Structure formats: C-alpha cells, structure tokens
Amino acid sequence: MMKQDDIFYRDDLVMAVINSKFVGNNPGHAIVVPLKHYENLYELPEKEANQIMKVAKEVAIAMKEVRKSDGVMIQQNNEPASGQHAFHYHMHIFPRFEEDHFGENRSNVRVANPKEREPFSSAMKEYFSKRKV
C-alpha cells in the first residue's frame, strides 16, 4: 500500500509515487496518477492526460539520471482484459537495465516495505526539488 513518503512529486492535477510493488529485478518503479478519480484512459480529461504525460516524461528522464537506467518502459492498462487491477487511472514508469530479464521476472512481484522504498523516493524527491515541471 502506498504511503505518504512514497510521493515524490505533486501538483494540482497529478502526483508521482514509487510503487509499493517491486517487479522482478527492477525495484522502485514509479507511477503517475491523477488526483481526481478516473477509472481508465477513456474517462481521463485531456488536461489531466497532458499533465500525466508531461510528468511521466520527467520521471523517465529522472530514471535515466538518478537510477542510471539503460532505458525506461512506460505501461498503462485499461480494463481487466489488459491487466488493469487498480481501477484508478495510473501510468507505470519502469527503469530498465541491460540484462535485467524483465520479461522473465515479470511474474515475480512483491509488496516492498516502506523502508525498502525510501531510497528510491528520496532520490526522486531530490531530483524533482531541483526541477520545474
């Protein structure tokens, strides 16, 4: 479950947090979510969609700089058939690394405790404290 300390960016429309779930060999991925409830992309207003993408881009850049990732993967699911489990729109930003075997380890998901998540959120908070999004 997300904690207040997991939030590393917030404005009047969206927030970005370190996800409480760690996936495979890629711990500390982020999600960007609107503050208002929208179940999926179909309901998401353009204003929020634009801000989510703007923040997601900055999170992706941060993953490259802060996490020294070799790349990033952005994922967003709509409806159960696509794998949507949380019915509040959100966009995942995963740091990706050469030889991370992400596809092979994708089913290896666990809830990380707040202490495990803290280094990731702290690093992102520091990055975002120096940026205007």
Catalytic residue among 37, 85, 88, 90: 90
Looking at the structure of the chain, the number of domains it has is: 1
Domain containing residue 41: CATH number: 3.30.428.10
Is the Cα dihedral 87, 81, 40, 110 positive or negative? Answer: positive
Q: Note down the domain range covering 122.
A: 4-129
6-54 pLDDT, tens digit per residue, is 999 999 999 999 999 888 778 899 999 999 999 999 999 999 999 999 9
Amino acid at residue number 100? D
Q: Which residues are paired to 17 by β-bridges? A: 7, 31
Annotate the chain with three-state secondary structure.
CCCHHHEEEECCCEEEEECCEEECCECCCEEEEECCCCCCHHHCCHHHHHHHHHHHHHHHHHHHHHCCCCEEEEECCCCHHHCCCCCCCCEEEEEECCCCCHHHHCCCEEECCHHHHHHHHHHHHHHHHCCCC
Q: Is 88 a catalytic residue?
A: no
pLDDT tier, 107 (very low <50, low <70, confident <90, very high otherwise)? low
Query: Encoding tokens for residue 85?
Result: 């489990």
Q: Cα-flanking dihedrals φ and ψ of residue 85, to 5°?
A: -115, -35
- Residue for token pair 């850049």: 61
Phi-psi region of 16 (alpha: psi -120 to 50; beta: other; left: phi over 0): beta
61-104 pLDDT, tens digit per residue, is 999 999 999 999 999 988 777 877 888 999 999 999 998 887 76
